[in-house]
């Protein structure tokens, strides 16, 4: 199963995972001292999406590393 194509696809998955992780590092917008309920809901939704993106980044990087490791053996 030694194919450079699998290594390239694996590297692509690792880079995609790194990109998703980098998207989660963006700073949120500045909130006023007393946010409205809508702003609080939006902030809660953004935090939930951030958690999902962390998971997606980890899974993507793991799949990429698995492809690279399978290519080595």
Backbone angles phi, psi at 27, to 5 degrees: -80, 140
Q: Rounded to two decimals, what is the model's pTM?
A: 0.77
Residue 20's nearest CA partner among 56, 63, 47 is: 56
In this predicted model, what pLDDT tens digit does every residue of 45-66 receive, in sequence order? 988 999 999 999 999 999 999 9
In this predicted model, what pLDDT tens digit does every residue of 29-48 receive, in sequence order? 777 778 889 888 988 898 89
């Amino acid at each position: 199963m030694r194919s450079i194509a699998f290594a390239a696809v694996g590297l692509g998955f690792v880079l995609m995972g790194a990109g998703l992780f980098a998207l989660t590092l963006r700073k949120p917008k500045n909130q006023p001292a007393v946010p409205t309920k809508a702003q609080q809901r939006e902030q809660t939704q953004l935090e939930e999406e951030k958690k999902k993106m962390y998971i997606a980044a980890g899974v993507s990087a793991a799949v990429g590393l698995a492809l690279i490791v399978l290519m080595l053996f």
